[in-house]
Amino acid sequence: MALTTKILTSTHTDNMKDRWIKKQQEKLKNLASGLLEEQAGGGDDENLPDEPWFDSPLTPGEVPEGYAKFSDVFGIKSDSGIEHHIRVYSDEDWPEDIRSFIPEPSSDYVFDALALEQAVLGVNYGENVSISGPPGCGKTSLIKEIAARIRQPYMRLNGKDGLEISSFVGQMVINEQRQTVWQDGLLPIAVKNGFLLAFDEWTKVPAGINMVLQSLLEDGGHLLLEDMPGKYHEKIIHRHDNFRMALCDNVKGLGDGIDKFAATNVQDTSTINRFGVNISMEYLSDLDESMLLRRKYPKLSGKLASHMVAVATKIRVGYAQGNLSLTMSPRNLLKWAKWALILRNKERAFSMAYYQSLSDDSEKLAVDQIYTAVFGGIHESASREPVAWDVPF
């Protein structure tokens, strides 16, 4: 009996498959003969109209109230060259007790024009944003800088901290009157008050916890505080209109094919499907990265900065090829510059900021070669002798 059912099911599925394939072939035939295009409203122009989308505040000319020009908000042009009108808030738009969550902009941050534009469009047009990219390339700080410039409260959650569901959703606590009461976690505070939320390394939390996020990611989504006592409708927290979520990670959530980032969980594809903006970020260009170093440390000469960036770039290539187990992020670069200026010695600084964290001798040798190739001299990390330095101090 079971066998018969199986055969019937498989025949049934085969028939469905055949029908589906036939339908697709039919569609293609119609497309080729222009039939579907005609049904869809005709017109033989596949170009987009010059005017912006009707429902968009992009309209050239006057900037609507509560909006500002992209280039005025971020100090650079958008990658597409379009002068988007960006929703900006004033601190008074937010309740007093959450204004302290609005970050201050950092003048040291160097924007990647493309990643910035894409993330800003997501925030502006109510889409969830997913950013993937190598460690330290500036994913989280991009979101923080956007929040700082549009004056929106910002919060960062980190999936890496062995996230317990209670720590970000909420839990029962004992208050001063010795009563057991519900205390919201960070997530409901962000959802209720319209924060821009950066969820770091979300692929490291178990897929089960991320399922909680799924309903949040939907249009008009909500958060269910399952463990909170009370009636069902009281447990539902609706998204504030301004609430936006940006998930930042080294990987795209489909498991880590290259096995570089331990403890990465494969996420439910239905979670991944709920991002309206997908950004693949890279390290800045060499030129921008030198600028980053010199903005933070103006005493660094241009030549030294660009050589340091060249070392970092070569290390990153070695890391991507699997020859080095540690990459060199802008964070390491900034520390290198800092120690170089304090010690007036770029070699020793390099050793402190990066080299000594390598444990494998063959990796150290590879890095020595990189260093020598860029700076010409021999990199002697163990040397206690003062080494020539070219930091103008």
Ligand X SMILES: Nc1ncnc2c1ncn2[C@@H]1O[C@H](COP(=O)(O)OP(=O)(O)O)[C@@H](O)[C@H]1O
Binding site for ligand X (CB under 6 A): 108-110, 133, 135-141, 248, 284, 292, 330-331, 334
- The secondary element (H helix, E strand) that includes residue 197 is strand 196-200
State which residue, 139 or 348, has the beta carbon closest to Mg ion. 139
State which residue, 133 or 153, has the beta carbon closest to ligand X. 133
CB 354 within 8 A of CB 330: no
Task: Give the number of other Cβ atoms within 10 Å of residue 393's Cβ.
Answer: 8
State which residue, 159 or 330, has the beta carbon closest to ligand X. 330
Taking the complex as a whole, the smallest distance from the CB of residue 142 to ligand X amounts, in Å, to: 7
Taking the complex as a whole, the smallest distance from the CB of residue 326 to ligand X amounts, in Å, to: 14
- The secondary element (H helix, E strand) that includes residue 24 is helix 2-32
165 binds, among ligand X, Mg ion, none (CB under 5 to 8 A by kind): none
State which residue, 140 or 242, has the beta carbon closest to ligand X. 140
84 binds, among Mg ion, ligand X, none (CB under 5 to 8 A by kind): none
DSSP classification of residue 285: P
CB proximity list for 155: less than 8 A, separation 6 or greater: 101, 186, 189, 190, 195, 196, 197, 198
Taking the complex as a whole, the smallest distance from the CB of residue 144 to ligand X amounts, in Å, to: 7
State which residue, 137 or 367, has the beta carbon closest to ligand X. 137
Estimate the crossing angle of helix 302-320 against helix 330-343, to 10 degrees: 140
Taking the complex as a whole, the smallest distance from the CB of residue 287 to ligand X amounts, in Å, to: 12
CB proximity list for 390: less than 8 A, separation 6 or greater: 301, 303, 304, 346
The 3-state DSSP class for residue 224 equals strand
For 280, phi then psi, to 5°, come to -110, 105
Taking the complex as a whole, the smallest distance from the CB of residue 28 to ligand X amounts, in Å, to: 43
State which residue, 138 or 153, has the beta carbon closest to ligand X. 138
123 binds, among ligand X, Mg ion, none (CB under 5 to 8 A by kind): none
Taking the complex as a whole, the smallest distance from the CB of residue 201 to Mg ion amounts, in Å, to: 7
256 binds, among ligand X, Mg ion, none (CB under 5 to 8 A by kind): none
* Number of residue whose CB is nearest Mg ion: 140
Report the chain's C-alpha Rg in angstroms: 26
Closest CA to 146 of 172, 178, 120, 171: 120
State which residue, 235 or 331, has the beta carbon closest to ligand X. 331
For 183, phi then psi, to 5°, come to -120, 125
Round to whole Å and give the CA distance between 293 and 138.
Answer: 14
137 binds, among ligand X, Mg ion, none (CB under 5 to 8 A by kind): ligand X
292 binds, among Mg ion, ligand X, none (CB under 5 to 8 A by kind): ligand X
* Number of residue whose CB is nearest ligand X: 138
194 binds, among Mg ion, ligand X, none (CB under 5 to 8 A by kind): none
Give the CA angle between residues 36, 37, 42 to the nearest 5°: 135
Taking the complex as a whole, the smallest distance from the CB of residue 135 to ligand X amounts, in Å, to: 5
Closest CA to 348 of 336, 331, 360: 336
Round to whole Å and give the CA distance between 263 and 252.
Answer: 14
331 binds, among Mg ion, ligand X, none (CB under 5 to 8 A by kind): ligand X
**Both structure tokens of 302:** 């241009």
Overall residue count recorded for the chain in this entry? 393
Taking the complex as a whole, the smallest distance from the CB of residue 249 to Mg ion amounts, in Å, to: 8
State which residue, 248 or 284, has the beta carbon closest to Mg ion. 248
Give the residues lining the site for Mg ion (CB under 5 A): 139-140, 200, 248
CB proximity list for 66: less than 8 A, separation 6 or greater: 87, 88, 89
State which residue, 15 or 285, has the beta carbon closest to ligand X. 285
For 199, phi then psi, to 5°, come to -105, 105
284 binds, among Mg ion, ligand X, none (CB under 5 to 8 A by kind): ligand X
Task: Give the number of other Cβ atoms within 10 Å of residue 61's Cβ.
Answer: 5
State which residue, 272 or 284, has the beta carbon closest to ligand X. 284
Taking the complex as a whole, the smallest distance from the CB of residue 115 to Mg ion amounts, in Å, to: 13
Taking the complex as a whole, the smallest distance from the CB of residue 357 to Mg ion amounts, in Å, to: 19
141 binds, among Mg ion, ligand X, none (CB under 5 to 8 A by kind): ligand X
